[in-house]
Amino acid sequence: MTDDLHYPNLTACQVTMSSSTLGTKPPVKLPHDCTMESLRHIVIPSPYDFALEKAVMAKKKEQDSENQLQKASSREELQKAVVVKMKAVTNADEDVCIALLEDFQYDLKPAVEAFFASS
């Protein structure tokens, strides 16, 4: 392996430096094909926002909470599953979800409606 640097975009470029007097910068001349005007046609893509992946993960989280609701066998498991479901729907803190669900005897629909009505 060599220690040479490889810059494929600059293979046709040459930098010419000439002598200068003290206190001034040496003039640098770039060929026309290395200037910014020649690079304006290059399109830089915008950053990827992962919207599709986020939507898929949100749907999976919702399905998982639905499955947890269906598999709940005890009252505590059911309450925990309802809290998870409400968190998935509202993106609220667990404490807020528990407080609202307790106010509505763990009935999900009115608790969610109350959350959005107060927001």
User: Residue 40 corresponds to which tokens in the numbers above?
Assistant: 């304006």
pLDDT one-digit tens code per residue, 10-68: 667 776 766 655 566 656 776 666 666 667 777 778 888 899 999 999 889 888 877 87
Question: Among the ranges 8-17, 62-71, 106-115, which has the highest mean pLDDT value?
Answer: 106-115
Give me the percent of the chain exceeding a pLDDT of 70: 71
Cα–Cα distance measured from residue 7 to residue 53, given in angstroms and rounded to the nearest whole number: 34
Roughly how many angstroms between the first and final C-alpha of the chain, as a whole number?
62
Please check whether residue 58 is in contact with residue 51, taking contact to mean a CB–CB distance below 8 angstroms. no
Q: For position 20, what pLDDT does the model report?
A: 55
Q: For position 21, what pLDDT does the model report?
A: 58
